[in-house]
Structures are given as structure tokens and as C-alpha cells.
Structure 1
């Protein structure tokens, strides 16, 4: 049996749901609670020995409103489905992905024969998210903006979910390879799955950024082109230059950035410059003076002060640490 056959074959719960068109709970011990109102699914139900849990969503009956203690990703393997997430209607088609943060509430309409939805659950407390710390050095301002929204900053009003439409070929391929290792375990399967997890998140980051670049933004969403302008021209841009490009006043742009991100234009610009300086320090042999010029800073003392604020080390120390890692 291959992955496609496994996903399309009816399991015992699906046989019952197909016959009665009524929801059958995977975990009988909580069935009454979830049927009498939205219920919070906890970690203990899924993560016995692993930090990731993968399952096919059972077809032929609606799944009631619920929330959970973990990060959930729904991957539309084939067909389509309708979900309601935090009150928002979402329609998923083949290769669409929705990422649901802890605490998000959602329910799913009945799936038909060809509608294959796969759930990936990630236990936050057990996952090694050190790779995300490394990713933060590479994030663009636009991606940071989206990820902060998905992380559900409690000081702001966020949807607590991210929808990725038509995620391309790479991410579905990685997800399906992970599923094969999970459902048909062989020697080293656990180790391979653990290495796929950060790759999945890198691919998610790439897909989000690609999706943002394709979106047509109106005046109400002018924040996205502002952030792209900082990202793409960080060494030469200024608040005045961006205001002129977008035909808005400097004050409007400045206030909008503060409102939408909680940060100032200078904060975001400096972060982008420091991130690119970090990349040049760790991936090239360019002199530090040249790097400072390339990222658009003329005052060296200012650069060193800001760099140490961000990375808690001097550029020279960062370069030495990176060199030792390479030698090992």
C-alpha cells in the first residue's frame, strides 16, 4: 500500500461516518464534551512519544467546533473543504494550507470521497525551535509582520491563523515525504521526521513571502508595500523616499507603520540593515567597513552600537564564532 491508497481508503471511523453521516469522535473519552459545546483538545491525546502528530481528517461527517493546546497545520492533499476558523469562513483547495495557532477555534464541514485533508500537529513545548531563532536573522520585515500576527500577539487583535493558497510544489512534496515516513516507518524514520520539521517551517516561510509578493494591496493594506520597500532598498531608502514613491505624506506613513506593527520606521529599517550585515559577516569575507557601507550606514560608531544591541556581540565576535563553527 502506498500513501495515496492509505489516505483514500476508508478507516473504521470513516466507515461509521459514511453509514450514518454523524460525527464519531477519535477519542471516546471526550466525545460527550465535544458534542455539547466547543472543546479544547489537549496535548496528552496526541503526543505520547513524539513532538509531531499526523493524521488524516475523517470524511463524511462534520467536525464540531474545538480549540487545542498545540500548533495545527491543515494540508489539503486533494479535493476541497470548508472550515470556519475564529468566525472566518475558509475554503481550502488542493495544496492549500492553513496554519492555526494555539487557542484557535475551528470546525470543519463534512468531506466527500475525494476530499483528503491531513492534519499536522506540533507540540510547542517539545519542539526544538532553535532553528526559528536562526531564521529570525533572515526574516524580511514583511514576513516578520505576518508571523507576529500568526503568533497571536495578545496586545493586538489577530486572527491567529494563516492561510497559504496554492503552496507550490516544494512544500507539498516535503509534507508528503514526511507523511510517508510517519505512516510507513522504517529504520531512522523518527530522525528523518525530526529533520523535516524545520524544513517544513522554512518552506512555510518561503511560501508566505511568495504569497505576499503576489497579493494586490489596496490603500487599506498599504503597510505591505511599505515593508517591501524597506526590505528591497534598505541601504538607500528613507521615510521621505517611501512617502514620495507611494504618494503619501511622511507623517501618514510613519503613523501607519506604528499603528500596524507597533514599531517605528527607524526600528524596522535598522533591523533590516542589521540582519543583512549579519548575513554578510557570516557568509562573506568582506571587511567590516565595507559591510557597514553596503547596508547604508555612514556612522561606524552608530553601526557598532546598534549591532551589539541586536546580537549582544560585536561584528568581530560574530565572525569568529561563525568561523569556529565552520572549522568544527
Structure 2
């Protein structure tokens, strides 16, 4: 990673200065970033699409020196331990991250982050399912990837209990791709957003390649969901529910 960006990430933000002095969480998220109705339903703050106003994919450094309270979100979140260590509570489980580790959180997961120290740099990468190529999902579905199952499980009526994945350090390609995303985000140039979206697809492919276990055959509902989304993605201007129902002989779309 470029030294100038690393120094930028290591420097204290205004929020970090407050938290370092008082060791109390200082909320920098505006009320408009919280879905009040869903928050009330699950009894924890639920973050909405506010973060994607200016970027298709949102990247930030997690503020250090104070614990971040339990919350959920309407998007995927990836925590990358660029430097140091972090401890989180994810859906009731304790998760420890060391340098180079990646934590992938499903839509609707709940997590809290213990206070980070001076030398701990945790990077948050937020993205929505629309940032994932549906053609790409179809390809990895044919490989029976664990990550495929994870990425579309929010489409099911019944979610798996865990709803997060941890990728341990040691995968050089993954770290290199993550650092390219960080560099493009914090030192933006022409076409940086396009490059970041492309690198996200590369990153998911690298995570699949580095995570060998497989799942049982995807369910018919999972296969149908990807086909439907793919058609909608390609033909959203002209496609109707009746067209989809007729094509897939599905009577209750």
C-alpha cells in the first residue's frame, strides 16, 4: 500500500480524537442513515442506503478508541484488518480478527466492535447486492461455492443462523486486491468508482478460490432467484411479472 495512504489512515480523525480523550463512542452517523421502522422491529439501529449517495461502494476507516455499539444494516459489509487486531460480536458469536483477516457480513447481520487501539486499522467496505454481477453469481453457482450460498441467502425466507464468514490472513491476492480498492477510494482518480466495482468482483472470485469447501446442490428456489434477478437486471425496462411467470412456469410471481 502507498505510504501516503497508510499515513492518512493512521492519522487521527476528529471523532477519534474525541474518543481517545473520553473513551466513549461518539456517533457520527446522521439520523437519515438509520431505517427507523426496521430498527424498531429488530430493536437495534439498522443502517440504510445513505452511504451510497455518492459512491456505488463505500469504504471507510473504523474509528478507534471506543466500542462501537450493536447495529445491523441493509447491505453487505466487509471488515478488513489492515493492521493490528480487532474483536467483534457477530450475531452473538465472538470473532477475533488479526492483520490480513477479512470478515464478510450478510445483509441483516448484527455486530458490535470492541474499542480499537492506536495501532489497529480496520477498514469497512460496504456494498449492495446490485454491485455484484448476476452473471458472475450464476457462474459461481455452478461451482457449488460456499460463498455463492452466502451471497444469496438473504433471498431465502429462512436464513442460516451464522450469516457471516471469516477469511484468515495468508491469501496474498486477496490482500493485494483489497489494498487496490482502498487506494482507489482514498486517492480517487478518473474512473475510480468503475475500477473499485471491478475489483470487488475480482475480490469475490479470489475469496471463492481461497475457500475450498463446497455446499450441497443449491435449492430450486435459489437457482430460480438468480435466474429471475438476471432477467430483471438485463431487461428491466420491458420485462413484466407475467413474462417471468410464463418463462419459468411459475404461477405466483
**Shorter-chain TM-score category?**
0.7 to 0.9
Task: Normalising by structure 2, report the TM-score.
Answer: 0.75
Q: Is the 8 A contact 1:167 1:207 kept in 2?
A: no
Which structure: larger Rg? Answer: 1
Deviation at 1:157, TM superposition (A): 3.6
Deviation at 1:64, TM superposition (A): 0.4
Greater fraction of residues in helix = 1
Unaligned regions of 5+ residues in structure 1, if any?
A: 213-223, 228-256, 264-311, 313-328
Q: Which has the higher contact order (CA 8 A, sep 6+)?
A: 2
- Matched with 1:113 is 118
- Matched with 1:160 is 163
Q: Is the 8 A contact 1:38 1:64 kept in 2?
A: no
Cα deviations across residues 113-151 of structure 1 (Å, max 9, x unaligned)? 1111000000223544332223333x2x4x24x542564
- Matched with 1:55 is 60
Secondary structure of the residue aligned to 1:121 is strand
Q: Is the 8 A contact 2:132 2:201 kept in 1?
A: no
- Quick one: distance in 1 between partners of 2:33 and 2:189? 33
CA RMSD for the aligned pairs?
2.8
Which structure 1 residue ranges, 4+ long, deviate > 6 Å from structure 2? Answer: 30-34
Secondary structure of the residue aligned to 2:104 is strand
Q: Is the 8 A contact 1:150 1:161 kept in 2?
A: no
Secondary structure of the residue aligned to 1:118 is strand
Cα deviations across residues 161-201 of structure 1 (Å, max 9, x unaligned)? 11111151110111101111111011222222122121011
- Matched with 1:71 is 76
Q: Is the 8 A contact 2:68 2:113 kept in 1?
A: yes
Secondary structure of the residue aligned to 1:203 is helix
Unaligned regions of 5+ residues in structure 2, if any?
A: 220-247, 249-253
- Matched with 2:181 is 178
Note if 1:99 corresponds to 2:121: no
Note if 1:4 corresponds to 2:6: yes
Cα distance change on mapping 1:190 and 1:82 into 2, 3 Å = same
User: Residues 132-281 of structure 1: matches in 2 within 5 Å?
Assistant: 132-137=137-142, 139=143, 141=144, 143-144=145-146, 147-149=148-150, 151-152=152-153, 153-155=156-158, 157-209=160-212, 212=213
